[in-house]
Protein backbone atom coordinates (compact mmCIF):
# COMPACT_ATOMS: atom_id res chain seq x y z
CA UNK A 1 0.00 0.00 0.00
CA UNK A 2 1.29 3.47 -0.92
CA UNK A 3 1.42 5.85 2.02
CA UNK A 4 -0.43 9.08 1.27
CA UNK A 5 -1.06 12.33 3.09
CA UNK A 6 -4.76 11.80 2.42
CA UNK A 7 -4.67 8.57 4.46
CA UNK A 8 -2.77 10.28 7.28
CA UNK A 9 -5.27 13.14 7.35
CA UNK A 10 -8.18 10.66 7.31
CA UNK A 11 -6.83 8.84 10.36
CA UNK A 12 -6.29 12.07 12.29
CA UNK A 13 -9.73 13.38 11.35
CA UNK A 14 -11.30 10.16 12.60
CA UNK A 15 -9.30 10.34 15.83
CA UNK A 16 -10.25 13.98 16.43
CA UNK A 17 -13.89 13.16 15.72
CA UNK A 18 -13.96 10.21 18.13
CA UNK A 19 -12.48 12.34 20.90
CA UNK A 20 -14.95 15.19 20.34
CA UNK A 21 -17.83 12.69 20.33
CA UNK A 22 -16.42 10.55 23.13
CA UNK A 23 -19.67 10.09 25.06
CA UNK A 24 -21.63 9.06 21.98
CA UNK A 25 -18.93 6.64 20.81
CA UNK A 26 -18.64 5.12 24.30
CA UNK A 27 -22.41 4.65 24.48
CA UNK A 28 -22.53 3.09 21.00
CA UNK A 29 -19.76 0.62 21.88
CA UNK A 30 -21.41 -0.35 25.17
CA UNK A 31 -24.77 -0.84 23.47
CA UNK A 32 -23.23 -2.93 20.67
CA UNK A 33 -21.57 -5.20 23.23
CA UNK A 34 -24.97 -6.09 24.69
CA UNK A 35 -26.73 -6.67 21.37
CA UNK A 36 -26.59 -9.49 18.88
CA UNK A 37 -25.54 -8.80 15.31
CA UNK A 38 -22.95 -9.37 12.60
CA UNK A 39 -20.66 -6.84 14.30
CA UNK A 40 -19.57 -9.74 16.51
CA UNK A 41 -18.27 -11.65 13.48
CA UNK A 42 -15.90 -8.80 12.63
CA UNK A 43 -15.62 -7.50 16.19
CA UNK A 44 -16.10 -4.07 14.65
CA UNK A 45 -18.84 -1.44 14.77
CA UNK A 46 -19.59 0.98 11.93
CA UNK A 47 -20.77 4.37 13.13
CA UNK A 48 -21.53 7.71 11.46
CA UNK A 49 -20.15 10.72 13.33
CA UNK A 50 -20.04 14.46 12.79
CA UNK A 51 -16.52 15.88 12.56
CA UNK A 52 -15.48 19.04 14.45
CA UNK A 53 -15.99 20.94 11.16
CA UNK A 54 -19.55 19.68 10.73
CA UNK A 55 -19.06 16.96 8.11
CA UNK A 56 -20.47 13.46 8.52
CA UNK A 57 -17.99 10.59 8.22
CA UNK A 58 -18.18 6.86 8.79
CA UNK A 59 -15.76 5.26 11.25
CA UNK A 60 -15.12 1.60 12.00
CA UNK A 61 -14.57 1.00 15.71
CA UNK A 62 -12.80 -1.92 17.38
CA UNK A 63 -15.30 -3.52 19.79
CA UNK A 64 -12.46 -4.70 22.03
CA UNK A 65 -11.14 -1.18 22.60
CA UNK A 66 -12.57 1.80 24.43
CA UNK A 67 -13.53 4.97 22.57
CA UNK A 68 -10.31 6.68 23.69
CA UNK A 69 -8.23 3.66 22.66
CA UNK A 70 -9.86 3.65 19.21
CA UNK A 71 -8.85 7.28 18.77
CA UNK A 72 -5.34 6.79 20.14
CA UNK A 73 -4.75 3.84 17.80
CA UNK A 74 -5.50 6.12 14.85
CA UNK A 75 -3.11 8.81 16.09
CA UNK A 76 -0.36 6.21 16.46
CA UNK A 77 -1.00 4.79 13.00
CA UNK A 78 -1.00 8.29 11.48
CA UNK A 79 2.39 9.04 13.07
CA UNK A 80 3.78 5.73 11.82
CA UNK A 81 2.60 6.42 8.27
CA UNK A 82 3.92 9.98 8.39
CA UNK A 83 7.37 8.66 9.25
CA UNK A 84 7.23 6.19 6.34
CA UNK A 85 6.06 8.92 3.99
CA UNK A 86 8.94 11.18 5.01
CA UNK A 87 11.41 8.40 4.21
CA UNK A 88 9.75 7.78 0.85
CA UNK A 89 9.63 11.49 -0.04
CA UNK A 90 13.34 11.82 0.74
CA UNK A 91 14.01 9.68 -2.35
CA UNK A 92 10.87 9.91 -4.48
CA UNK A 93 10.06 13.56 -3.88
CA UNK A 94 6.72 14.55 -5.38
CA UNK A 95 6.43 11.10 -6.98
CA UNK A 96 6.00 9.52 -3.53
CA UNK A 97 2.18 9.18 -3.89
CA UNK A 98 2.58 7.00 -7.00
CA UNK A 99 3.13 3.24 -6.56
CA UNK A 100 6.74 2.44 -7.49
CA UNK A 101 5.64 0.39 -10.50
CA UNK A 102 5.83 1.48 -14.18
CA UNK A 103 2.29 0.15 -14.72
CA UNK A 104 0.95 2.68 -12.20
CA UNK A 105 2.44 5.50 -14.28
CA UNK A 106 0.91 4.01 -17.42
CA UNK A 107 -2.50 4.11 -15.70
CA UNK A 108 -2.04 7.85 -15.05
CA UNK A 109 -1.02 8.56 -18.65
CA UNK A 110 -3.88 6.41 -19.97
CA UNK A 111 -6.44 8.30 -17.88
CA UNK A 112 -5.00 11.60 -19.06
CA UNK A 113 -5.33 10.51 -22.68
CA UNK A 114 -8.85 9.06 -22.38
CA UNK A 115 -10.33 11.49 -19.83
CA UNK A 116 -11.54 8.51 -17.81
CA UNK A 117 -11.83 4.77 -18.30
CA UNK A 118 -12.75 1.48 -16.61
CA UNK A 119 -10.17 -0.91 -15.21
CA UNK A 120 -10.90 -3.72 -17.68
CA UNK A 121 -10.62 -1.40 -20.65
CA UNK A 122 -7.35 -0.04 -19.26
CA UNK A 123 -5.98 -3.54 -18.72
CA UNK A 124 -6.71 -4.38 -22.36
CA UNK A 125 -5.13 -1.20 -23.72
CA UNK A 126 -2.08 -1.53 -21.48
CA UNK A 127 -1.70 -5.27 -22.08
CA UNK A 128 -1.77 -5.80 -18.32
CA UNK A 129 -3.36 -8.10 -15.77
CA UNK A 130 -6.74 -6.70 -14.74
CA UNK A 131 -6.25 -7.35 -11.02
CA UNK A 132 -2.97 -5.43 -11.02
CA UNK A 133 -4.57 -2.49 -12.82
CA UNK A 134 -7.49 -2.51 -10.37
CA UNK A 135 -5.08 -2.62 -7.41
CA UNK A 136 -3.12 0.34 -8.77
CA UNK A 137 -6.36 2.28 -9.26
CA UNK A 138 -7.24 1.66 -5.61
CA UNK A 139 -3.79 2.86 -4.49
CA UNK A 140 -3.99 5.93 -6.73
CA UNK A 141 -7.42 6.77 -5.30
CA UNK A 142 -5.97 6.51 -1.78
CA UNK A 143 -3.15 8.85 -2.85
CA UNK A 144 -5.61 11.38 -4.24
CA UNK A 145 -4.27 11.10 -7.81
CA UNK A 146 -7.33 9.34 -9.23
CA UNK A 147 -11.05 9.74 -8.53
CA UNK A 148 -13.71 7.09 -9.06
CA UNK A 149 -17.20 7.48 -10.52
CA UNK A 150 -19.21 4.49 -9.29
CA UNK A 151 -22.42 5.75 -10.90
CA UNK A 152 -20.98 4.95 -14.31
CA UNK A 153 -21.23 1.41 -15.66
CA UNK A 154 -18.61 0.07 -15.57
CA UNK A 155 -16.96 1.98 -12.72
CA UNK A 156 -14.94 4.79 -14.29
CA UNK A 157 -11.65 6.21 -13.03
CA UNK A 158 -10.53 9.76 -13.74
CA UNK A 159 -7.37 11.76 -13.17
CA UNK A 160 -7.55 14.41 -10.42
CA UNK A 161 -5.76 17.75 -10.49
CA UNK A 162 -3.07 16.22 -8.26
CA UNK A 163 -2.70 13.40 -10.78
CA UNK A 164 -2.21 15.92 -13.58
CA UNK A 165 0.38 17.71 -11.45
CA UNK A 166 2.39 14.47 -11.31
CA UNK A 167 2.34 14.20 -15.11
CA UNK A 168 3.33 17.87 -15.40
CA UNK A 169 6.27 17.15 -13.10
CA UNK A 170 7.35 14.21 -15.26
CA UNK A 171 7.34 16.48 -18.30
CA UNK A 172 10.23 18.42 -16.73
CA UNK A 173 13.82 17.26 -16.44
CA UNK A 174 13.70 17.19 -12.63
CA UNK A 175 10.70 14.86 -12.72
CA UNK A 176 12.43 12.56 -15.19
CA UNK A 177 15.53 12.44 -13.00
CA UNK A 178 13.46 11.69 -9.89
CA UNK A 179 11.72 8.85 -11.73
CA UNK A 180 15.06 7.27 -12.67
CA UNK A 181 16.43 7.71 -9.15
CA UNK A 182 13.31 6.15 -7.61
CA UNK A 183 12.58 3.17 -9.87
CA UNK A 184 15.40 0.63 -10.12
CA UNK A 185 14.36 -1.33 -13.23
CA UNK A 186 13.72 1.69 -15.48
CA UNK A 187 17.09 3.08 -14.39
CA UNK A 188 18.76 -0.25 -15.25
CA UNK A 189 17.06 -0.30 -18.67
CA UNK A 190 18.02 3.30 -19.36
CA UNK A 191 21.68 2.63 -18.55
CA UNK A 192 21.64 -0.50 -20.70
CA UNK A 193 20.28 1.39 -23.70
CA UNK A 194 22.53 4.39 -23.18
CA UNK A 195 25.66 2.22 -23.12
CA UNK A 196 24.67 -0.52 -25.54
CA UNK A 197 22.37 1.04 -28.10
CA UNK A 198 18.93 -0.08 -29.34
CA UNK A 199 17.24 -3.04 -27.67
CA UNK A 200 13.82 -4.68 -27.66
CA UNK A 201 11.75 -5.94 -24.69
CA UNK A 202 12.08 -9.69 -25.21
CA UNK A 203 15.88 -9.59 -25.37
CA UNK A 204 16.05 -7.18 -22.42
CA UNK A 205 13.86 -9.49 -20.32
CA UNK A 206 15.84 -12.60 -21.26
CA UNK A 207 19.27 -11.11 -20.61
CA UNK A 208 18.34 -9.34 -17.36
CA UNK A 209 16.13 -12.14 -16.03
CA UNK A 210 13.07 -9.90 -15.76
CA UNK A 211 9.41 -10.61 -16.46
CA UNK A 212 8.60 -9.75 -20.09
CA UNK A 213 5.32 -7.97 -19.29
CA UNK A 214 7.11 -5.88 -16.66
CA UNK A 215 9.85 -4.92 -19.13
CA UNK A 216 7.25 -3.90 -21.70
CA UNK A 217 5.53 -1.72 -19.12
CA UNK A 218 8.89 -0.20 -18.18
CA UNK A 219 9.63 0.76 -21.77
CA UNK A 220 6.11 2.09 -22.39
CA UNK A 221 6.17 4.18 -19.22
CA UNK A 222 9.63 5.50 -20.06
CA UNK A 223 8.43 6.37 -23.57
CA UNK A 224 5.42 8.24 -22.15
CA UNK A 225 7.70 10.19 -19.80
CA UNK A 226 10.16 11.00 -22.58
CA UNK A 227 13.08 8.89 -21.36
CA UNK A 228 13.17 6.56 -24.37
CA UNK A 229 11.88 6.66 -27.91
CA UNK A 230 11.23 4.02 -30.54
CA UNK A 231 14.13 3.50 -32.93
CA UNK A 232 12.85 4.57 -36.35
CA UNK A 233 15.37 3.09 -38.76
CA UNK A 234 14.78 -0.21 -40.55
CA UNK A 235 18.41 -1.31 -40.19
CA UNK A 236 20.51 -0.92 -37.04
CA UNK A 237 24.21 -0.46 -37.75
CA UNK A 238 26.75 -2.44 -35.79
CA UNK A 239 28.29 0.78 -34.50
CA UNK A 240 24.94 1.69 -32.94
CA UNK A 241 24.29 -1.57 -31.13
CA UNK A 242 27.05 -2.63 -28.77
CA UNK A 243 24.72 -5.05 -26.95
CA UNK A 244 24.92 -7.58 -29.77
CA UNK A 245 27.61 -6.51 -32.25
CA UNK A 246 26.81 -7.35 -35.87
CA UNK A 247 27.55 -5.55 -39.10
CA UNK A 248 23.88 -4.65 -39.19
CA UNK A 249 20.56 -5.81 -37.73
CA UNK A 250 17.34 -5.79 -39.75
CA UNK A 251 14.71 -4.48 -37.38
CA UNK A 252 12.07 -7.16 -36.73
CA UNK A 253 10.99 -5.92 -33.30
CA UNK A 254 10.18 -2.61 -31.61
CA UNK A 255 13.57 -1.30 -30.54
CA UNK A 256 14.02 1.46 -27.98
CA UNK A 257 16.80 4.01 -27.54
CA UNK A 258 17.37 6.63 -24.86
CA UNK A 259 16.55 10.28 -25.48
CA UNK A 260 19.17 13.01 -25.19
CA UNK A 261 17.76 14.20 -21.87
CA UNK A 262 18.06 10.66 -20.45
CA UNK A 263 21.71 10.43 -21.49
CA UNK A 264 22.41 13.74 -19.75
CA UNK A 265 20.56 12.64 -16.59
CA UNK A 266 22.50 9.36 -16.46
CA UNK A 267 25.81 11.20 -16.78
CA UNK A 268 24.80 13.50 -13.93
CA UNK A 269 23.78 10.54 -11.76
CA UNK A 270 27.13 8.86 -12.34
CA UNK A 271 29.00 12.07 -11.51
CA UNK A 272 26.99 12.69 -8.33
pLDDT in tens, 173-228: 999 999 999 999 999 999 999 988 888 999 999 999 999 999 999 999 999 999 99
- Strand intervals (E) in 189-271: 228-230, 235-237, 248-250, 256-258
Same domain, yes or no: 111 and 150: yes
Task: Give yes or no: residues 67 and 110 share one domain.
Answer: no
Instruction: Show which of 91, 125, 141 is a domain's final residue.
Output: 91
Q: 229 with 198, same domain? A: yes
Domain C-terminal end among 72, 91, 110: 91
Specify if 185 maps to a domain. yes
Same domain? For 25 and 70 the reply is yes
Q: Note down the domain range covering 87.
A: 5-91
Residues 3-37 have pLDDT tens digits of 778 889 999 999 999 999 999 999 999 998 988 88
Alpha helices in the chain (DSSP H): 5-20, 22-34, 39-42, 67-92, 102-114, 119-125, 130-142, 161-171, 173-182, 184-196, 201-208, 212-225, 260-271
Are 215 and 148 contained in the same domain?
no
57 and 129 belong to one structural domain: no
Give the chain's domain count.
3
pTM of this prediction?
A: 0.75
d(CA 41, CA 182): 42
Could you tell me if 56 and 117 lie in one domain? Answer: no
For residues 89 and 54, the answer to whether their CB atoms sit within 8 Å is no
Amino acid sequence: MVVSRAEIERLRTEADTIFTRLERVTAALERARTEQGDHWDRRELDLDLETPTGETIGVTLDLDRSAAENAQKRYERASELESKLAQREAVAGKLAPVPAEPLAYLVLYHLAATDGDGSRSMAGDLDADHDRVADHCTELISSGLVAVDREQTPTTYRLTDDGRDVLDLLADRDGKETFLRWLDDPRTLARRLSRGGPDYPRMTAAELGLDLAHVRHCYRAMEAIGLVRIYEGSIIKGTERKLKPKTETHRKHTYYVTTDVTDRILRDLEDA
